Amino acid sequence: MSVTTKTGDDGYTDIIGRDRLPKDHPILESLGTLDELNAFLGDAKAALSDNSNTAEIISGIQKDLFLIMGILAGMQAPAEGLDEGRLSSLINELELTLPPLTSFAIPGANPVSAKLHIARTVCRRAERRLIGGNLGKKAATLIIPYINRLSDLLFLLAQKES
């Protein structure tokens, strides 16, 4: 099986659970941005030292992003599995261990922190794309709070790794 199908040469693409969509459709913009976020998270994870638990956190987030992309593509939203409360707990834990911010956080303290800041900004863009994508009430109530929490968590992980 080849990755080249040539079925998208007309500017439309197929995604499971939906009719063919133009490649600039808001759902595809959202999917592409979430895929980009996942790739940046993988880049940050690959750059981490072995003694950081951040890699485990990122792996969980990456699995969640695939679940979100499935929901956007038309899969039925699961009853369980996507839990922004878990992210809130991680945020609370990190806030207890990190020194308080006294100035703006300037990305670039080190390569890992910089990569996590890039992921954070892509996450914010994903949130904007999702809000503009007319997701439907059920998907929006599952996805938007998670993505909003995720950008906060990525900020704190970048601070932790700096």
Per residue in 89-129, pLDDT (tens digit) is 999 999 999 988 877 888 888 999 999 999 999 999 999 99
Question: What residues does 13 pair with on adjacent strands?
Answer: 21
Token pair for 29: 């913009």
Assess if residue 11 is contained within a domain.
no
Assess if residue 14 is contained within a domain.
no
Q: What's the pLDDT score for residue 20?
A: 85
Q: How many angstroms separate the CA atoms of 72 and 94, rounded?
A: 30
CATH of the domain at 40: 1.20.1200.10
Q: Is 98 helix (H, G, I), strand (E, B) or coil?
A: coil
Q: Show the domain range for 48.
A: 19-76+83-98+106-160
**Tally of helices (H runs) and strands (E runs) in the chain:** 5, 2
Assess if residue 46 is contained within a domain.
yes
Our count of domains for the chain comes to 1
What mean pLDDT is predicted for residues 27-31?
A: 91
**13 confidence band (pLDDT: 50, 70, 90):** confident
**37 confidence band (pLDDT: 50, 70, 90):** very high
Residues 6+ apart with CB under 8 A from 104: none
Assess if residue 9 is contained within a domain.
no
**Which residue type does 114 have?**
A
Assess if residue 6 is contained within a domain.
no
- What rounded mean pLDDT belongs to the chain? 88
Residue 134 clears pLDDT 90, i.e. is over it: no
